[in-house]
Structure formats: structure tokens, C-alpha cells
Amino acid sequence: MAEIQLRNISKRWGSFVGVNDFNLSIDDKEFLVLLGPSGCGKTTTMRMIAGLEDATEGDILINGARVNDLEPKNRDVAMVFQSYALYPNMNVYENIRFPLRVRGIDPALHKERVMQAAERVELLDFLDRKPAALSGGQRQRVALARAIVRKPKVFLMDEPLSNLDAKLRVSTRAQIKNLSHDLAATTIYVTHDQIEAMTLADRVVVMKSGVVQQVGSPTEIYDTPANTFVASFIGSPAMNLIDGELMNGKFSAPNVEITGLIGRNGKVTLGFRAEDASVVEQCSEMNAPIYTLELLGDATMVSVRIGGQLVAVKADKTFRSDIGDQVSIHIPADHCHLFDAETGLRIQ
Ligand code: ATP
């Protein structure tokens, strides 16, 4: 069992703030994903939990005990890196066995534990091979086996799929989810890929410039993003955002007019998702020429240009039209999100 608490964690190098006042309680067996663009502080946060980086401020607790001053090897966490970090001169068996040797586990137990871990990630046929003779996906599975072999309380995974091709990424993602469920360990997983975050996480932490923007279940951050940054980072395509004015419940921007909204008068950013709007024969809410059409198989993505920016709407898969054709787009008021134009914070 492993609960982790991060209390006011900050990391500074000189005047540069890598992570700023991070606070979170991570439940036992939770799959937590740290998500954000490059440089937002995800890896630094994870390295502080692992003990590979000292926190400038704050306390890190595992099962209630402060671990800031504990060596990485004494924290009972296993880390899986993007680079795999395998030993090139050792074969697969020895690579998987390595953590057992380092931790002084009774050698009589090694073989069974290594074979169990190798079987779990389907590597039994490759035990004699050196890493150089493995594919990227197989190397990543060795890294996973090496992490699970010592049955740690906590798994830390830093972009473990980013060196794999798209197809392998999907299958390895499923394997990681299944593995973490089976092992019932607490997992903290770092990625900049929002689809990975949405598919794997019990909870997602969205970060930007070292600051936590929102913590919530994938559904919460998708349905009620806390600000325009989260709205534009989550979802494929991202939420459409249009700057305009709200006056007595009516939102107005060039070529856009939506009534029935709730919020105070003033400048706002209106948000709506591609799948919540629809292309219709005629309406007064949004009218614009088609910029591009993309066939997705199960739907057609229609993009129009509004005030210099693209707005995406999901249409039926049978929808056909030409670039430049004028279309009307219906945007139901109850699927609109409103954000403060200055702060970007959610209003409604
Ligand atoms: P990526 O997805 O690119 O790995 P990240 O979100 O994991 O990004 P971090 O590696 O945590 O980002 O880095 C956060 C910020 O701290 C970055 O701006 C980075 O340049 C900076 N940083 C990291 N390590 C150091 C260091 N040793 N000295 C100074 N700045 C650092």
C-alpha cells in the first residue's frame, strides 16, 4: 500500500522556478498522470518523488513518513524512463534481475521472480538477447519487467511510450494499464500526450510553467476545464475558443451570435467542443465559409475560419461540401463554456 502526499513542493534553480507550490494527495493504487507541454515541470516533479532531485521547499510523504532525506533506493519506488536505461552489456535476463541483486534479495528467489516478470510482459523468448538485438517495443517491455520484478509500492513512469511508433504505443499503453491494475501499485505517469493521459488516468494533473492548472478525473477536465489553457490542451481537436462580448445573455463576435447564456456582461472567451456543435441548413448562431474538410471514417471534421482562427465542427460521415461553401453551425447554449477574457478562468 502506498499513499503519497506532496505538500507545497517547489523546485528552483537560482531564480528559475521549475515547479511552484505543488500540493496533492495521491491515493493508494491510484493511476495519476502528470500532463502538460514540454518544460512545464512534470519530470522534475516525478524526479523529486523518486529522490533524484531535491525539493527546494515542501515535504514529500510516502505512507505518512517524510522521505525528502531518503536515498532513492530506500523509497521503494521503481522508475521507467523514456530512454529505457537498459544495461547494454547484460542480456534481458540479467537486466530484469539487476534490481534484485542491488537490493540484496535472496539469490534463491531470483530465477522465479525474473521468469514471472518476463512472462508478464511476454519476454520469455528473448531472455538471452542483449538490448541491441531487441526492437524498441521489446526494450520497453524489459524496462517494465525490471520495474515490476521487485514488486515496488510505487511506479514512476516518464514518457515510457514516446520512442515507440503509433501502433505499438497503443498496444503498450493497454499493457501498462492492465499491468498497473493487476499489480495494484500506485502509479505516477508523465506524458505530454493528452490521449495517453485520458485513457490511462484515474486522475490527471494538468501543468503549465511549473504551476498546476487543474486536477481531476479525465471526464472532469474534459467536461469542465478550469481555464482556457486546459480547454485548449485537452481533446482532439481541442475545444474551440472564440473571443467576444457577453451582453444580457447574448454572446457576440464577428459572424457569431449565441443567446441563452448565463454570465455577467463583458469581454469573454466562448468555448465549445467540435462534437457539441452541428452543421445545419440554416441558423443565426454561426455562419462562415468552409476552410477544410477532413474525412475521419466515422465522421467528417468541418473547419471554418472565424475572425482569423479555425473552428472545428464534427459533421455526419456522409456530409459532403466544398471548400469555400458557406455553412451554418448550430451551437447549443447549454454546451457552451464561458471563460474570463483576461484571466482565462472558467466563468460557467
Ligand atoms: P519534457 O516534457 O520536455 O520532459 P517537463 O515538463 O518534464 O518537460 P522538466 O524536465 O520538469 O519539464 O523541466 C521543467 C523546467 O525546468 C524546464 O524549463 C527545464 O529547462 C528546467 N530544468 C530542468 N532541470 C534543470 C536544471 N538542472 N537546471 C536548470 N533548469 C532545469
DSSP readout, 173-209?
A: HHHHHHHHHHHT-EEEEEES-HHHHHHH-SEEEEEET
Q: Is residue 317 part of a domain?
A: yes
Assess whether 126 and 260 both reside in one domain. Answer: no
Does the pTM surpass 0.80? The reply is yes
For position 347, what pLDDT does the model report?
93
For residue 16, what pLDDT is reported? 96
Residue recorded with cell 459532403: 320
Query: What is the share, in percent, of the chain residues with pLDDT greater than 70?
Result: 100
pLDDT score recorded for residue 268:
97
142/26 same-domain check = yes
Residue 41 alpha carbon to ligand 1 centre in Å: 6
pLDDT at 136: 86
196, 230, 264 — which closes off a domain?
A: 230
299: left (phi over 0), alpha (psi -120 to 50) or beta: beta
Both 99 and 214 in a single domain? yes
26 lies in a domain? yes
Residues 126 and 212 in one domain: yes
For residue 157, give the C-alpha cell: 513512469
pLDDT (0 to 100) of residue 288: 93
pLDDT of residue 80: 85
Which residue's CA is the closest to the ligand 1 atom numbered 9?
41
To test the pocket of ligand 1, the residue of 43, 192, 196, 212 to mutate (highest count of ligand atoms within 8 Å of its CB) is 43
The total number of structural domains in the chain stands at 2
- Helix 92-102 to helix 110-120 angle (10° resolution) is 130
Please identify, among 230, 256, 279, the residue that sits at the C-terminal boundary of a domain: 230
Query: What CATH number did the domain enclosing 271 receive?
Result: 2.40.50.140
- pLDDT for 136-177, tens place per residue? 889 989 999 998 998 888 999 999 888 888 888 898 898 888
Together in a domain, 67 and 29:
yes
- 115 sits in which H/E element: helix 110-120
* Segments forming the whole domain that contains residue 317: 237-340
ipTM given for this complex: 0.95
217-268 pLDDT per residue, tens: 999 999 999 999 999 999 989 999 999 999 999 999 999 999 999 989 999 9
Q: Is the dihedral of CA 143, 144, 147, 149 positive or negative?
A: negative
CA distance linking residue 238 with residue 144, whole number of Å = 32
- For residue 210, the ligand 1 atom closest to its alpha carbon is 14
- pLDDT tens figures, 5-32: 999 999 999 999 999 999 999 999 999 9
Instruction: Report the sign of the C-alpha dihedral through residues 314, 337, 36, 2, in that order.
Output: negative
In this structure, the residue with its CA closest to atom 20 of ligand 1 is: 39
Among candidate residues 202, 230, 258, the one where a domain is terminated: 230
**Could you tell me if residue 23 is left (phi over 0), alpha (psi between -120 and 50 degrees) or otherwise beta?**
beta
Contact criterion met (CB below 8 Å) for 149 and 99: yes
- Does 346 reside within a domain? no
| Nearest CA owner, ligand 1 atom 22 | 18
| Ligand 1 center–CA 57 separation, angstroms | 17
How far apart are the CA of 128 and the centre of ligand 1, in A?
Answer: 37
Q: Under a CB-based contact definition with an 8 Å cutoff, are residues 27 and 76 in contact? A: no
Q: Whose CA is nearest to atom 30 of ligand 1?
A: 13
Among residues 168, 170, 235, 159, the alpha carbon closest in space to that of 192 is found at 159
Same domain, 86 and 173: yes
Dist. CA 40 → ligand 1 center (Å): 7
| Spatial separation of the C-alpha atoms in residues 330 and 213, rounded to whole Å | 30
When pLDDT is averaged across residues 331-347 and rounded to a whole number, the result is 96
User: Ligand 1 center to residue 209 CA distance, Å?
Assistant: 10
Tell me which residue has its CA closest to atom 7 in ligand 1. 43
Q: How far is it, in rounded angstroms, from Cα 85 to Cα 91?
A: 13
SS3 108: helix
The 10s digit of each residue's pLDDT in 96-121 is: 999 999 888 899 999 999 999 999 88
Q: Is 106 exposed, middle or buried (0-12, 13-18, 19+ CB in 10 A)?
A: exposed
CATH number of the domain to which 203 belongs: 3.40.50.300
194 and 326 within one domain: no
Q: What grid cell was written down for 223?
A: 467536461
Average pLDDT over residues 269-281: 94
Is 347 inside any structural domain?
no
Q: Please state the atom number of ligand 1 nearest to the C-alpha of residue 11.
A: 16
Residue 262 to residue 248: CA distance in whole angstroms: 8
pLDDT of 348 strictly over 70: no
From the CA of 39, how far away is ligand 1's center (Å)?
5
Question: Which triple of cell numbers denotes residue 278?
Answer: 452541428
Which range among 114-118, 120-124, 339-343 shows the weakest confidence by mean pLDDT?
120-124
Rounded to the nearest angstrom, the distance between the alpha carbon of 16 and the centre of ligand 1 is 10
Residues with C-beta less than 6 Å from any ligand 1 atom: 13, 16, 18, 36, 38-44, 192
The tens digit of pLDDT for each residue in 66-82 reads 999 999 888 889 888 87
What is the whole-number distance in angstroms between the Cα of residue 160 and the centre of ligand 1?
17
Tell me, yes or no, whether 264 lies in a domain. yes
Query: Rounded CA gap, 97 and 99, in Å?
Result: 6
| Shared-domain flag, residues 212 and 247 | no
Q: Looking at the domain assignment, is residue 345 inside a domain? A: no
d(CA 227, CA 333): 18
Of all atoms in ligand 1, which is nearest to the CA of residue 53?
27
